[in-house]
Amino acid sequence: MKRCIKSEYNIGIINLQVNNGAMSLLSPRLLKVLLLLVLAFIILQYSYTTIFEARRIDPLFIVNSSLLARNQFFFMKNRSNYAINKNSVSWTSDGAQMTNALLVDATASQNLASQQTYSSNELCPLIPPNLLGPIKPEKDAPATLEELEHELEAIGALPPSDGQWRPSYCKARDRVAIIIPYRDRAHHLNIFLKNIHPFLQRQQIDYGIFVIEQAGYGMFNRAMLMNVGFVEALKFREFDCFIFHDVDLLPEDDRNLYTCPDQPRHMSVAVDSMKYRLPYSDLFGGVSAMTKSQFELVNGFSNMYWGWGGEDDDMAARLKSVGLHISRYPNNIARYTMLSHRKEKANPKRFEILYSGRKRIKEDGLNSLQYRRLSLIRNRSLTWVLVELAVPS
């Protein structure tokens, strides 16, 4: 009986056993070459998909990323101009540099920006020059708004009034209202404000922060508060871009620009509590950006979602129904830390309301919004609107 003789080959860490019959065809050298070819093919395929995905997600990203690469270089060269505390620079496990953005002296970056050649009448550069890239959000903040404002003032990041700020050294490209649905999360709000002001100022955005608080103890209605925020912010100025923002989400990379592109943008793509993975492709919750006209086109959010869940999927369906698409920055940029909180009770009727949602777009939304403004507080770090929402009978 003929025995089947096997030969062993050691290629790097791979140990191969080859039948004698195949030996003449597969010499060790040939195997190495084949393996290298397969590896090269995998790498090529991977890079192509990444670039293709980025293009599909947001065409501007291609421009952004190449310009950013140059700007990051510029930043590294001018590092000494920044008042960065050396201890604040740490390294993540994947080797990316993480900078604690709050320790960057905001005035230092403004000085640097004003040294550049543009004037206050000129549009700010397409890519803000003072971005840091990956940052480590601060997860702590003072207990009171007053103390927090002192801290922001000390780093030169406290807006002059109403939580509204714009760069003085160039004309910002977008006027952005940040709308935060809110009730009973004071500590999260202070942490959010502490992080978001220096973040948006580095992005050279003309912005306003609007906290919309639901009065009373009834079921929370996140979507209706967004609608209120839209209406209330427009009483202040003609904002052209709206970012609807959970109070507990802190951006981890300032290349995630808080602006409105051609298509609505879902911003919170990769959240730490979701293992930095997008759970499903139509997700539009957490943080999302829409232009004024896009929001009006879909009649805003539905007012019918009381309790947790459904309202963001309803908005995704509205966008689809008018031919808009959700755009996204790539996963390595649109990253967020979520502050911990207990899980809210989900609304058991959310699927039912969602199924019948399409039929209601025209009559349920901005045009049917009913609320009563109970108070308006204008602080330097935010505009705070307390509202009583009309509960349908």
Partners of 171 in beta bridges: 123
CB of 301 to ligand UDP, least distance (A): 13
Q: Which of 149, 174, 246, 313 binds ligand UDP (CB under 6 A)?
A: 246
Q: What DSSP element (H or E) covers 357? A: helix 357-360
CB 151 within 8 A of CB 194: yes
- 182 binding partner (options Mn ion, ligand UDP, none; Cβ < 5 to 8 Å by kind): ligand UDP
213 vs 248, which CB is nearer to Mn ion?
Answer: 248
Query: Which pair of tokens denotes residue 180?
Result: 């935060």
Q: d(Cα 385, Cα 316) in Å, to the nearest integer?
A: 26
> Which 8-67 positions form the footprint of ligand UDP (CB under 6 A)?
none
CB of 216 to ligand UDP, least distance (A): 12
- 344 binding partner (options ligand UDP, Mn ion, none; Cβ < 5 to 8 Å by kind): ligand UDP
* Residue that the structure tokens 């330097």 belong to: 380
CB of 276 to ligand UDP, least distance (A): 15
**Count, residues near ligand UDP per rule CB under 6 A:** 14
- 194 binding partner (options Mn ion, ligand UDP, none; Cβ < 5 to 8 Å by kind): none
| Piece in contact with ligand UDP (CB under 6 A), picked from 68-76, 258-266, 328-336, 338-346 | 338-346
Q: Which of 220, 242, 301, 371 binds ligand UDP (CB under 6 A)?
A: 220
Q: Is 183 in the site for ligand UDP (CB under 6 A)?
A: yes
170 vs 225, which CB is nearer to ligand UDP?
Answer: 225
Report the Cα 11 to chain-centroid distance in Å.
45
Q: Is 181 in the site for ligand UDP (CB under 6 A)?
A: yes
133: left (phi over 0), alpha (psi -120 to 50) or beta: left
Q: Is 222 in the site for ligand UDP (CB under 6 A)?
A: yes
> Which 263-282 positions form the footprint of ligand UDP (CB under 6 A)?
none
Q: Return the sign of the alpha-carbon dihedral for residues 215, 218, 222, 224.
A: negative
Q: Is 350 in the site for ligand UDP (CB under 6 A)?
A: no
What is the pairing mode between strands 89-91 and 97-99? Answer: antiparallel
198 vs 285, which CB is nearer to ligand UDP?
Answer: 285
Surface-to-core class of residue 42, CB atoms within 10 Å of its CB (0-12 exposed, 13-18 middle, 19+ buried): exposed
- 314 binding partner (options Mn ion, ligand UDP, none; Cβ < 5 to 8 Å by kind): none
CB 148 within 8 A of CB 118: no
Contacts of 76 (CB under 8 A, 6+ apart): none
Q: Return the sign of the alpha-carbon dihedral for residues 88, 267, 242, 120.
A: positive
